[in-house]
Amino acid sequence: MYAANSISTYANAPIMDAWEKTATKRNPLLYDETLYQYICSLIRQHTGSNKIQHLYSWWGILSKGDKLPSHTHTHPRPERTISGVVYEQGESCKLYVKNLNSEPQAFTTTYGNTILFSANSEHWTETYTGTQVRRCIAFDFVILNQKSCQCKSEICIRCVHYKLDRLGLQILAHSPAERERYIKQNLNEILREGLFNDKPIALSIDKNKYFNV
């Protein structure tokens, strides 16, 4: 298995006081030192690297009848990025993670569980049926000494988010932030259309087959 596709699960995260400490904070993981150091140790173990950096973290909340739709986390940088989630409250609700050209894997999510996976992997939840509000902290880290893929002159789904200009597509946006949102929103569409397979493609791909240009 390509290392970027690895998925790791852990139990017994020290998250008992996290909500009280960080519920109102932006990037809450940075405001609970014990939990932060714990997550960092897991990411070092998962990636085999000590050169890691927190990018973002946030609380995710589901009430009965809610579900998390399929999405990925992409960042405009060439290094490998890792996503993860640690569960603080709520009844069991399956998380699905789908690596490129693979079947989805289902993970049971309960209190204190942590799951790490590639930020480029699609992930979503089933509909939450619990009566207690489900809370978790999701987070993204960058691995500063590892590349997102093995491409050189090629381009693949793992590096398209920072090489999109090389596809020759014109993206009209009012701001860099709007352009970035457009890229993130359309990566899954690109993947579903088959533009990127497990192996990288040449840059001479016929883009008109997949885009209206």
Q: Where are the domains of the chain?
A: 3-147, 160-209
Residue scoring higher pLDDT (55 or 72) = 55
Owner of token pair 């809450």: 28
Q: Which residues of 17-56 are buried (b: 16+ CB within 10 A; e: fewer)?
A: ebeeebeeeeebbebbeebbebbbebbeebbeeeebebbe
Residue range 76-91: average pLDDT? 92
pLDDT in tens, 30-46: 999 999 999 999 999 99
Report the alpha-carbon distance of residue 37 to residue 15 in Å, rounded.
12
With cut-offs at 50, 70 and 90, classify the pLDDT of residue 73. Answer: confident
Report the alpha-carbon distance of residue 187 to residue 120 in Å, rounded.
9
Amino acid 204: pLDDT: 35
What CATH class does 3-147 carry?
mainly beta
Residue scoring higher pLDDT (112 or 175) = 112
Residue 185: partners with Cβ closer than 8 Å, 6 or more residues away: none
pLDDT in tens, 92-128: 999 999 987 789 999 989 999 999 999 988 899 999 9
Report the alpha-carbon distance of residue 55 to residue 52 in Å, rounded.
10
With cut-offs at 50, 70 and 90, classify the pLDDT of residue 207. Answer: very low
C-alpha closest to that of 86 among 6, 10, 24: 10
